[in-house]
Structure 1
Amino acid sequence: MALLCGSLFRSCHFSLLSSHLIGNLRVCTRAVYPQSSWRNTISTSVRLRASLTGRTTSYQIYSKATAPLPCGPVLTPCGHYFHTSARLRALPAPLIWMIIKPLQKIMAIILGRSIRKWWVALPDKRQQLVRKYAWQKRWQIAGGAGVAIMIVAIFLLTHLDESPLTGRTRLLVFSKENYMEMAALTSDAYMEEYAELLVPVTDPRHQVVKWVVQHLAQRNKDIPEVNDISWTVHVVQSPSVNAFVLPNGNVFMFTGMLEAIADVHQLTIILGHEMAHALLGHAAEQASMSHVLELLSVVLLIAIWAMCPHDSLSMLGHWVQGKLRELLFQRPFSRKLEAEADQVGLQLAAKACADVRAGPVFWQQMELRDQLSGEPTLPEWLSTHPSHRNRVAQLDRLIPEALELRERCVCPALPATDPRDVFSKSVRVLLKNTRE
């Protein structure tokens, strides 16, 4: 296995992709801007190192972003859009919810234990009277429960929204304006946390990420949500293989992710995926789902702590309901949003003229990287993200549509060599050499 790892780091099959990227970008910029407009353009040499190849490749990144080519909108915008709002004096609703969230569970535990202690302290005759009274009032109790269910149903129905770009019906209990306030607070917290780790804006790594983000935004200007967000790039010096975009457009890219990326095509697809999360409002959607589940679980917690005869059993029931909620609702919902961001992000990258075939290759690289590092891999049903293998399969299904979209956007032709075939062949050859 160590020999295989060393062989992979010495291979150089991705150099063709790198040189092709430079050609594509130059053809795109010449097609959009007259030659004379580039007299004062400043270029920056950017170096990215592929995690599996170990080969450092330089990219010539122009500081002037290309304008969107004349291709019609393929992702139909619908529903309401995120937009930046003025600062509110009141605390945003999501922040209030985060403050009272732990108090809800504490109050549920206290109320449930109080009911149980009250019931245990009652004499047998009083308990029989209470049961008899509850049976006599069963229809009134059932009616009250029905009214409560109707109120919850009306609340949920009146907070349904249509997801932009995909048209999927979703639940949003927080206004987007208020959630943008929460995003600003989150952004400030991250900026404070990473203050000493941010690479300078003059760093080539920052420049390449900034260029790709601007390129994606320019090429997708036909999408209203893209224009509503002000995109800001931050590159964090950290070995963590991570990247994320906040709802207010703050992009955080970790240098560990840049080390894991083989070329700018993959970088464009990864950033397209993260930008899709912001465009689709996934953070607000996840917070809404979590909020509703928390409120509904309060009723269940009260029942658990009231009905279990001992605190130890109540604690066990409390833990079980939390895990079931997480495994049956929250994590599958998170995987669903990740798959949606993969789909929309691939379309954003296609309109930016990236080689979308590099998307599945990235996740194959990540799967191989995990295997070589010996890191334990969680089953998909325990994870918040789809497995690398399932992401490869989904992206492979989406590639034909993305290639058609890329062609409609008048992008330069791709080379006949498919990077997926190159990667698969490279792995087979290296495995064969290792066995020998």
Structure 2
Amino acid sequence: MELMCVRFVRQNFLRSLPTNSQAFILKSLRWYCVGRGELQKCCRPTPCLESVHGSRSIRVFGKKNKTCQPSRELTSPNQCLNARTSLNTFGSHRLKGNFNIVSTVTLPKQFFHTSGRLQALPAPLLWLVLKPIQKLLAIILGRSLRKWWIALPPNKQQLLRETAWRRRWHLAAGAAGLLVVMAIFLLTHLDESPVTGRTRLLVFSRENFLELANLTAEQHMEEFKDIIISPKDPRHQVVERVVQHLAERNQDIAEISTVPWSVHVVDSPTMNAFVLPNGKVFIFTGMLEAVADIHQLTFILGHEMAHALIGHSAEQASMSHVVDFLSLILLTAIWAVCPRDSLAALGHWIQGKLVQFMFDRPYSRKLEAEADQVGLQLAAKACADVRAGPVFWQQMEISDQLRGESTVPEWLSTHPSHRNRVNQLDRLIPQALELRASCDCPALPATDPRAVFSESVRQLLNSVKERESAEKAKEKEGKLSIASGGGGIFLPLPHAPSPLAPGPPGQLGGVLSPTPVLSQALPSK
């Protein structure tokens, strides 16, 4: 590139310039090359460049017929650095006939040091940091506009209104242009979801979230370092085996085959499990105690792995980023229009709740439903009994009722209700069974676990009703005996514990120990 620049300047400009201008142009070319840090590119031997070791000089030879003198090869890196950063004095000769150009420029000796490349923060993390700052700036801007408008005299306010009305078409054109720019931005950031093929908005790339996932994994490892069970623990080995089996049976999905999956079991009663985009699986022992068998565990881990392979975290952050950007405009308008700060703060709170209930939580429920669908497919290809998936959510529904937890309406939650999840999975079971059969999996038992669970629950409820009826009858007999002056007082029997209460591993609906899970073997092909 330097050679082409020198030839172009020499053939087109140098011949018509004075001697001092020629020297200045050659000096600028040299320092441009060195200033860009391209020392290796500038210093490699070229047909028209010669670096003289020890004399700290560079000579440029050329003729009218564009032939070049042979160059001398550099033998030392310091030679190259000295040749580019410390140049000696040249004289200049006028261009007449066939001759060689020998130009020398005097420059001070300098040495350049390039520092290491700084690692930028992941875009999602940077957005999380800037998000509250953006809201604060919107509030300040809106409040400043309101104070400025109130401070204006009435005649100037009227003048501004008339000016805005006269230029209403210009303002409308500007707003339309902004909408077009936003539409182009959204259309150029559309992506296809893996497995399901759903079109979605993806502002943040998967690579950005992998960097953020590494930071998050380090934080979780530091947080749970004292309660992570040993890899030699049977519970860890079961979970690791299930995860490896799911990954091996779904190698056709690139997002699974290219991720190094690793398992971390946390000794905590919390019923939770999650998988980071970088393949770090975290599951709590409370979740292991909540599942009834290996098939339910396979479905739960498949659900969490589906979140990671589809990239739901990046998708949800992208949607939230766009919604927050649009809400900043509304937030600025609220603080600019409301006459008092108290009303503006109330409008700000209402606007935040509307964004949550109209965009954030419905979108989160949609992603959870998609993870159930994809997790069921992953479990089917891993030869698990997919009919156990709806049973797990039925167990969770009964467990919540036994613990007395209040039922939150679905529109207030980030997850679908247990009942809706059961209904959705029941609709997907036939398709999942066909997929399982196409993967050369062993035949399933004829008994459907959903029917077994429903029948067991029905029998238990009937037995509870019978016991309650018997207790009421004995209480009534006791009261009659006391009223008739009988010889003894018959006290009512104490309430027996409910058959659905948490109990030993064999009891239905209770919190199950990991023993049934460990006693099961993964189905083989």
Q: TM-score over 0.5 for the alignment?
A: yes
Q: 1:380 aligns with which of 391, 410, 413?
A: 410
Cα distance in 2 for residues equivalent to 1:114 and 1:187: 42
Q: 1:416 aligns with which of 424, 446, 449?
A: 446
Cα distance in 1 for residues equivalent to 2:268 and 2:207: 32
Residue 333 of structure 1 and its aligned partner are, at CA, apart by 0.6
Q: 2:194 aligns with which of 164, 178, 188?
A: 164
Instruction: Give the structure 2 partner of residue 326 of structure 1.
Output: 356
Instruction: Give the structure 1 partner of residue 261 of structure 2.
Output: 231
Instruction: Give the structure 2 partner of residue 303 of structure 1.
Output: 333
Asked if 1:428 is matched to 2:474, the reply is: no
Asked if 1:356 is matched to 2:386, the reply is: yes
Instruction: Give the structure 1 partner of residue 366 of structure 2.
Output: 336
Partner of 1:234, secondary structure, is: strand
Cα distance in 1 for residues equivalent to 2:140 and 2:127: 20
Cα distance in 1 for residues equivalent to 2:302 and 2:311: 14
One-letter code aligned to 1:195: K
Asked if 1:154 is matched to 2:179, the reply is: no
Residue 398 of structure 1 and its aligned partner are, at CA, apart by 0.7
Q: Give runs of aligned pairs for residues 399-410 of structure 1, distance below 5 A.
A: 399-410=429-440
Asked if 1:317 is matched to 2:347, the reply is: yes
Partner of 2:283, secondary structure, is: strand
Of structures 1 and 2, the one scoring higher in RCO (CA 8 A, sep 6+) is 1
Instruction: Give the structure 2 partner of residue 71 of structure 1.
Output: none
Relative to its length, the structure with more helix (as a share) is 1
Q: 1:106 aligns with which of 136, 141, 155?
A: 136
User: Once the two structures are superposed, what CA deviation does each residue of 1:309-359 show, in whole Å capped at 9, x if it has no partner?
Assistant: 111111111111111111011111111111111111001001111010100
Cα distance in 1 for residues equivalent to 2:406 and 2:231: 36
One-letter code aligned to 2:145: I
User: Once the two structures are superposed, what CA deviation does each residue of 1:366-400 show, in whole Å capped at 9, x if it has no partner?
Assistant: 00000111011211111111100000001111111
Instruction: Give the structure 1 partner of residue 166 of structure 2.
Output: 136
Instruction: Give the structure 2 partner of residue 199 of structure 1.
Output: 229
User: Once the two structures are superposed, what CA deviation does each residue of 1:71-92 show, in whole Å capped at 9, x if it has no partner?
Assistant: xxxxxxxxxxxxxxxx982111
Cα distance in 2 for residues equivalent to 1:292 and 1:209: 37
User: Once the two structures are superposed, what CA deviation does each residue of 1:407-428 show, in whole Å capped at 9, x if it has no partner?
Assistant: 1111111111111111111111
Cα distance in 2 for residues equivalent to 1:282 and 1:256: 24
Instruction: Give the structure 1 partner of residue 286 of structure 2.
Output: 256
Residue 157 of structure 1 and its aligned partner are, at CA, apart by 0.6
Residue 133 of structure 1 and its aligned partner are, at CA, apart by 1.2
What 5-or-longer segments of structure 2 have no aligned partner? 1-116, 467-525
Instruction: Give the structure 1 partner of residue 395 of structure 2.
Output: 365
Identity %: 71
Cα distance in 2 for residues equivalent to 1:388 and 1:95: 32
Cα distance in 1 for residues equivalent to 2:188 and 2:138: 27
Report the structure number with the largest CA radius of gyration.
Answer: 2
Partner of 1:251, secondary structure, is: strand
1:203/1:383 CA distance change after superposition, 3 Å: same
What 5-or-longer segments of structure 1 have no aligned partner? 1-86
Cα distance in 2 for residues equivalent to 1:130 and 1:192: 59
Asked if 1:391 is matched to 2:424, the reply is: no
Cα distance in 2 for residues equivalent to 1:201 and 1:315: 52
Cα distance in 2 for residues equivalent to 1:359 and 1:207: 22
Cα distance in 2 for residues equivalent to 1:189 and 1:130: 54
User: Once the two structures are superposed, what CA deviation does each residue of 1:77-117 show, in whole Å capped at 9, x if it has no partner?
Assistant: xxxxxxxxxx9821111111111001010000000000001
| Structure 1 residue ranges, 4+ long, deviating more than 4 angstroms after superposition | none
Point out the more displaced range, 246-255 or 174-183: 174-183
User: Once the two structures are superposed, what CA deviation does each residue of 1:115-164 show, in whole Å capped at 9, x if it has no partner?
Assistant: 00111111111111111111112111111111111111111110000111
Asked if 1:281 is matched to 2:311, the reply is: yes
Cα distance in 1 for residues equivalent to 2:432 and 2:250: 14
Partner of 1:173, secondary structure, is: coil
1:204/1:280 CA distance change after superposition, 3 Å: same
Residue 242 of structure 1 and its aligned partner are, at CA, apart by 0.5
Residue 276 of structure 1 and its aligned partner are, at CA, apart by 0.5
One-letter code aligned to 1:377: T
Cα distance in 2 for residues equivalent to 1:319 and 1:238: 36
Instruction: Give the structure 1 partner of residue 508 of structure 2.
Output: none
Q: 2:249 aligns with which of 191, 216, 219?
A: 219
Point out the more displaced range, 173-182 or 277-286: 173-182
Instruction: Give the structure 1 partner of residue 209 of structure 2.
Output: 179
Partner of 1:378, secondary structure, is: coil
Instruction: Give the structure 2 partner of residue 188 of structure 1.
Output: 218
Partner of 2:415, secondary structure, is: coil
Residue 185 of structure 1 and its aligned partner are, at CA, apart by 1.1
Cα distance in 1 for residues equivalent to 2:442 and 2:373: 22
Question: What is the aligned length?
Answer: 350
> What's the Cα RMSD here?
1.1
Partner of 2:156, secondary structure, is: helix
Cα distance in 2 for residues equivalent to 1:373 and 1:225: 39
One-letter code aligned to 1:249: G
Residue 429 of structure 1 and its aligned partner are, at CA, apart by 0.6
Cα distance in 1 for residues equivalent to 2:321 and 2:217: 21
One-letter code aligned to 1:181: E
Partner of 1:235, secondary structure, is: strand
User: Once the two structures are superposed, what CA deviation does each residue of 1:294-319 show, in whole Å capped at 9, x if it has no partner?
Assistant: 11111000000000011111111111
Instruction: Give the structure 1 partner of residue 322 of structure 2.
Output: 292
